[in-house]
Homo-oligomer: A and B are copies of this chain.
């Protein structure tokens, strides 16, 4: 849906930025963008959102170049939007309802519509339990989900997530993964950046590897992440799963299948006990 053709954006003085980036969402519903800090991931995100206007190349949404007029950007962001990494910096209200309702209200939805949208979003983030808790008493993971709901309320079809797992403990990470998968099943494109290779390996269909502002590789996640030289060049490490499989002399896929059995057994065990 959203795509970049030869996009370059350089910051004025430091000359850093992104260079000749080709990006599209045609393959896969969950797309990962990986790379070191400073590799250009967030610059790319900002270009996709129309926050930065590329000096070269163009960004298209549904094959039409995006318009940088005020109106064009408002239009774009109803389809493409982003959840920031730190929820503390995107929650403005004490009440969760008001928080989620903010976006829809700003574009002039009526209160009954707003109510309906918020109810839906609460369901998506599994937030019915804490709907009435004031925001400041929520746990970090709950805050993160509320900030996601605030963006879901705009019912966009492309969702950028900046390090969605950072700061979450393992259980909450798993919950976040479930939500991401659900969103993808509903037909949204989810684009996520993360430092957690296991997460990317686990949820992404396609992965883009960035290094010093350029995309040095793209393709199906398992194929890309197995390649030591690409990962090394990007300053990353292959996921443990792949390394473990290599150590055992089997295919990562085989190990992944076996792991699934282990995970399933584990959750059954726990359920029986509880």
Copy total for this chain: 2
Question: Does A247 belong to the interface (CB within 8 Å)?
Answer: yes
A interface majority secondary structure: helix
Contacts of A243 in B (CB 8 A): 259, 262-263
Contacts of A258 in B (CB 8 A): 247-248
Contact B240 A36 (CB under 8 A): no
Question: Does A261 belong to the interface (CB within 8 Å)?
Answer: yes
Contacts of A229 in B (CB 8 A): 269-270, 273
Contact B169 A166 (CB under 8 A): no
Contacts of A195 in B (CB 8 A): 167-170, 173
Contact A228 B38 (CB under 8 A): no
Q: CA A269 – CA B229 in complex, angstroms? A: 9
Q: CA A261 – CA B246 in complex, angstroms? A: 10
Contact A169 B36 (CB under 8 A): yes
Q: Which of B37, B228, B245, B259 contacts A139 (CB 8 A)?
A: B37
Question: Does A241 belong to the interface (CB within 8 Å)?
Answer: yes
| Given known A-B contacts A169-B37, A269-B228, A259 and B236 have beta carbons under 8 A apart | no
Q: Which of B37, B139, B171 contacts A236 (CB 8 A)?
A: B171
Question: Does A223 belong to the interface (CB within 8 Å)?
Answer: no
Q: Which of A156-209 contact B (CB under 8 A)?
A: 166-174, 195, 197-198
Q: CA A266 – CA B227 in complex, angstroms? A: 11
Contact A170 B236 (CB under 8 A): yes
| Given known A-B contacts A195-B169, A248-B255, A37 and B232 have beta carbons under 8 A apart | no
Name A residues whose Cβ lies closer than 8 Å to a Cβ of B.
Answer: 35-38, 139-141, 166-174, 195, 197-198, 228-229, 232, 235-237, 240-241, 243-248, 250, 255, 258-259, 261-263, 266, 269-270, 273
